[in-house]
Amino acid sequence: MRAPRIRGGMAPLACAWHRDLAPGRVFHGERGGQRPAARRRCAGDEQGRRPVLGAQPFYPHEMVPVARLLARITEGDTLVLLHESGEEAGSLDGSFDEAGELMGETFAELVEDFAILQAKAGRIELVQPELTLEDAQNIHNGARWARGESIAGTWENMTSQLGDDVPDELLERMATETFPFRIQEPDGLRVVVQGIEYTVGTTTTVSVLSARLSDADRQRFRDGRPEPGSTVTFVPGETDGIETSAR
């Protein structure tokens, strides 16, 4: 995305909510005189008039209202910048991408997801403007976990130690059947963005939809009761799906 143009003005500037109802018509919808927390990202710096949006580090929770506003601006719209006194200081009207948008909903959603992730993890960090696709996916997943959602995934195998209190009936079923099971770990889920680790929740739950013992372990179970503490390997049964959540 090309950086938007900002005409006129001196920093610091407050951002008013202005949007065209039709091309060429600008209306004013100020936010009760309040200063948006991310107003620096709507204005030029003190030495010039170059836009800083998308070019400088930012805090996601401060950027959310600005990103939401810019996501609404399309060709024919104008964003007007005001001094805190209310005097008009400049305006912004593009550049626009191929879809005729100044900043798409996807970016606004990403910023909001990142703010949710940082708040849940209790770690507010300054974000560099360059985000990789992996960063974006991790932000999205982290925000979903922070909202209490479960995320579907797949698995290949896992090992576990056999306790000494497993009933014989269950061991016989494990030797021949598939079964679901759930694992709970006393630790949160970790998400890494730009090399910084965020921990979501304090308990991780992994729900395995269908599992069975490996062929070697199935044969071992048929030959006799395995020793307590021995290691067993589980592999997918009818499906390799799992669901992961954090609390």
Q: Map out the domains of the chain as residue ranges.
A: 6-130, 149-246
Q: What is the pLDDT of residue 164?
A: 82
DSSP 3-state of 180: strand
Residue 236's SS3 state is strand
What pLDDT is attached to residue 239? 97
Token pair 């006799």 is found at 224
Strand partners, 82: 14, 88
Give the pLDDT confidence score for residue 207 in this predicted structure: 96
Q: Which of 99, 111, 135 is nearest to 1 (CA)?
A: 99
Q: What is the pLDDT along the chain (247 residues), one digit of tens a residue?
A: 333 333 332 222 233 322 222 333 232 333 333 333 222 233 333 333 333 344 589 999 999 998 888 777 777 777 777 788 888 887 766 555 656 655 668 888 999 999 999 999 999 999 998 889 999 999 999 999 999 999 999 999 999 998 888 888 888 888 899 999 999 999 999 999 999 999 999 999 999 999 999 999 999 988 888 888 899 999 999 999 999 999 9
pLDDT of residue 138: 96
Which pLDDT value is given to residue 3? 34
CB count within 10 Å of CB 222 equals 10
pLDDT score of 49: 31
**Residues paired with 173 in a beta bridge:** none
Q: What does pTM read for this prediction?
A: 0.69
* pLDDT score for 100: 60
